Amino acid sequence: MSKLIAYVSQYGVALVFGLVLVEQIGIPIPAMPALLVSGALVRAGKLSFLALLGAAVAASVLADTIWYLLGRRYGHRVLKTLCRVSLSPDSCVRQTEGIFEKWGMTSVVLAKFITGFSTVAPPLAGAMGAKLPAFLFYDALGTVMWAGGGILIGFVFHRAIEDVLSFLEGLGTGAFYLLGAALLLFVLFKWWQRRRFYKALRMARITVNELQNLFEKGEKPVVVDVRHEGERRRDPRRIPGAMTMGVSELDAKLPGIPPEVEIVLYCT
């Protein structure tokens, strides 16, 4: 047995726990590769499936419960903080909120399989008043399906994964540099995407004072409240005269407006 496989075999359960915990906290380090490798080692009899699954569920429920409690206490202020580091900061809450209102607590299960939503869903469930026992049940169920699926895929494709591990073993210390470089490139790519998004977003932004100035000049911009229906019910305040509609309705309901008229959208 190679040193690398021996290391993963010895610390596999702790490694899965740590990576799942880190990912659910919101740090962009994916846990799925560790689950796949662990699945291959389950097939080789080096690790226990139940121990790995238990570690993944414990880590995920721990991190998600903290986010849930923060959401219950601080509401959308927690979501605002999360969305500052999201690749789609202006849509992450709205989209997840739409899924939550459509599917209820089942969306907590679905969130495990949707990149970015898995971190936003727990505080959103808390902010929307979901009961803790129901949240814990669905969160654990989603983790069992997500982590269990990853382990089973590794179990089935164990030969291919063992080949990859053997290749990394042959690289020696170079394998750690290779993995570190891959992780660094992944994080840099995410950072570059977010920077590009914010640059484009700033070009299209208008401040509250700038909007007020347009009104005072008599330019009468069309203002549209595109918050989700649930958010409008919780916070009925809106800009006077603003139209209310979903983003998907814009193309159908806004045609015919002269091109010189400003259209201003605001959301959660």
d(CA 53, CA 112): 15
pLDDT at 1 over 50: no
Question: How confident is the model at residue 93, as a pLDDT?
Answer: 57
Q: Which residues pair with 263 in a beta bridge?
A: 222
Choice among 29-33, 93-97, 188-192, 262-266 with the minimum mean pLDDT: 93-97
pLDDT at 159 over 60: yes
Name the helix (H) or strand (E) containing 77: helix 76-83
Domain residue spans in the chain? Answer: 3-194, 208-266
Question: How confident is the model at residue 208, as a pLDDT?
Answer: 84
Q: What is the pLDDT of residues 104-113, one digit of tens each?
A: 788 888 888 8
Choice among 42-51, 161-170, 243-252 with the minimum mean pLDDT: 161-170
d(CA 155, CA 200): 44
d(CA 37, CA 16): 10
Radius of gyration of the chain (CA): 23
Tokens linked to 41: 């080692």
Confidence of residue 132 (pLDDT cuts 50, 70, 90): very high
pLDDT at 134 over 80: yes
Q: What share of the chain in percent tops pLDDT 90?
A: 18
Question: How confident is the model at residue 149, as a pLDDT?
Answer: 93
Distance, CA of 59 to chain centre: 16
pLDDT at 64 over 70: yes
> Looking at the chain, which runs of residues are DSSP E strands?
222-225, 243-244, 263-266
**Range 127-146 average pLDDT:** 91
Of 39 and 179, which is predicted with more confidence? 39
Three-state DSSP state, 209: helix
Of 60 and 266, which is predicted with more confidence? 60
Confidence of residue 135 (pLDDT cuts 50, 70, 90): very high
Tokens linked to 61: 């429920």
Tokens linked to 21: 């915990």
Q: What is the pLDDT of residues 172-227, one digit of tens each?
A: 566 566 666 776 787 777 667 667 766 666 667 788 888 888 888 887 888 888 88
